[in-house]
Amino acid sequence: MTGPTTYFDPTHLDELPAKTADLVRRRIAVLGPAYRLFYREPVEFVRGERAHLFDRDGNHYLDAYNNVPSVGHAHPRVVAAIAEQAARLNTHTRYLDAATVAYAEDLLSTFPAHLGNVMFTCTGSEANDLALRIAKVATGGTGVIVTWNAYHGVTTEVAGVSPSLVGIEGLAPWARAVRAPVPAADGGADIAEAVRATLGELEILGLKPAALLVDTVFASDGVHPDLPGLAEAVAAVRKAGGLFIADEVQPGFGRLGSEVPGAQLWGFERPGFGKLGIEPDLVTIGKPMGNGHPIAAVVARPELTAAFAARSRYFNTFGGNPVAIAAAQATLDVLRDEDLPGNAARVGRRLAEGIRSLPFVAEVRGSGLFLGVDLVGPDGTPDEGFTLDVVDAMRQRRVLLATAGSGNTTLKIRPPLPFDHADADRLLEELAAVLAGRR
């Protein structure tokens, strides 16, 4: 289950400033106890711009955490596109709409040619849910293999394959979890071996595999940009009749950086990846797709959508409506026009180098503007309390971070993509000060 994190603990309500405490109390009264707030002292933002957020008192925060406003908070081109379409018309996908078809063509042009169809949803959870339905129909299988601390969303089906949400013991009967591929140098696990063993176990139980479903940057498993064994794992699943679903909800839309402008938007395309034959059968995308406007999708091989369509029609009331499409098209245009994947590569590289030189940093992993920073405590071993204190001290200095991985000993750095060198310098300066204070 979810362990201790950087979330606010309501038993400390009385320690908050009076105004904040009042709003938190009213919020819990109406939203109930399942919701979480970040940080020991929750924060209320009223405005955002690029990678910068401002609270009610005008305090200026650096956002090094939020990947959804991917082209920057309140990007004027995305705002204008949403406003223009909303002021004119908003219907749904049961009417012809030229902009929807044009966006689908544009989006698909960024994927390998074999991924020729896109189906729109509102959330990443729905996208994974739909991808699993398609995989199950197309393969006749039901077994799903995921990684140990994976998060794929909140529907009943998808929560059942999300151990970071429900725990290994809460997985659906047809789901199995394997360790994320960690390089041998880190004492890691070979995902291929684990997947082969799991396929054997499913076979004994009479469960045919439908899919291997992985986040291609293993975000909730602690951010692992290297993928030892994944190609073999995919091959083993395919041999057993299953499909490979790449969950690109976190790594997608250029976050991992691209050295060639606009050339690489997807985690499964990382250098060497294609050559390894890890081309997915289905891809799920979401979060940054509409820069905060709800739009997500499944991208699929046409044979798979055909198998699905032979059994079922598809309609999602809000999924891919004209306003959502306007937001998504503007987001994709800005991503390319401002070469944000290139910026992610450049700034991310320098940021990673800077962090490597700081005390208490054991390892910096990552690609582009998605970094996982393993911290160790004063005794040189991973220390959850220490890492959570660092995140909180950074929040007090108005820099937003979080943790990743089941042990909460990895800092997660995943800012809006216009994060520039000055932003990186501010983060480095504050992190250096926080860590220096802990010697």
124: contact with ligand PMP by CB under 6 A: yes
Q: Using CB under 6 A, which residues numbered 130 to 159 contact ligand PMP?
A: 151-154
Q: Give yes or no for residue 221 binding ligand PMP (CB under 6 A).
A: no
Residue with tokens 């690489």, as numbered in its chain: 264
The partner residues of 372 in beta bridges, in order of sequence, read 365, 412
**Helix/strand/coil for 289:** helix
Q: Does 279 bind ligand PMP (CB under 6 A)?
A: no
Min CB(287)–ligand PMP separation in Å: 6
| CA angle 279–280–286, rounded 5-degree value | 125
Region near ligand PMP per CB under 6 A, out of 84-92, 120-128, 202-210, 229-237:
120-128
128 binds ligand PMP (CB under 6 A): yes
Cα separation, 6 vs 390, in Å, equals: 10
Least Å distance, CB 245 to ligand PMP, is 11
Which residues, 6 or more positions from 397, have their beta carbon under 8 angstroms from its beta carbon?
A: 430, 433, 434
Residue window 295-314: x/- pattern of binding to ligand PMP, with contact defined by CB under 6 A? -x------------------
Nearer to ligand PMP, 144 or 393 (CB): 144
Rounded to a whole number of angstroms, the minimum distance from the CB of residue 166 to ligand PMP is 14
For residue 39, the minimal CB distance to ligand PMP (Å) is: 18
Q: Tell me whether strands 209-215 and 143-147 are parallel, antiparallel or unpaired.
A: parallel
Under rule CB under 6 A, residue 70 binds ligand PMP = no
- Closest distance to ligand PMP from the beta carbon of 369 (Å): 15
Contacts of ligand PMP in 196-215 (CB under 6 A): 215
DSSP letter assigned to residue 120: E
Question: 243 vs 187, 225, 249, 389, 422, CA distance in Å?
Answer: 28, 21, 18, 41, 43
Q: First-to-last CA distance in the chain?
A: 32
Strand partners, 176: 145
Residue 327 phi, psi dihedral angles, 5° rounding? -65, -45
Q: Which of 70, 85, 149, 250 is the binder for ligand PMP (CB under 6 A)? A: 250
Site size with ligand PMP, rule: CB under 6 A:
16
Output phi, psi for 16, to 5 deg. Answer: -80, 155
CB 282, CB 243: distance < 8 Å:
yes
Q: Which is nearer to ligand PMP, 123 or 343 (CB)?
A: 123
Smaller CB distance to ligand PMP: residue 285 or 390? 285
Residue 405 within binding range of ligand PMP, rule CB under 6 A = no
Of residues 38, 63, 28, the one with CA closest to residue 292: 63
List residues near ligand PMP by CB under 6 A.
123-125, 128, 151-154, 215, 219, 247, 249-250, 286-287, 296
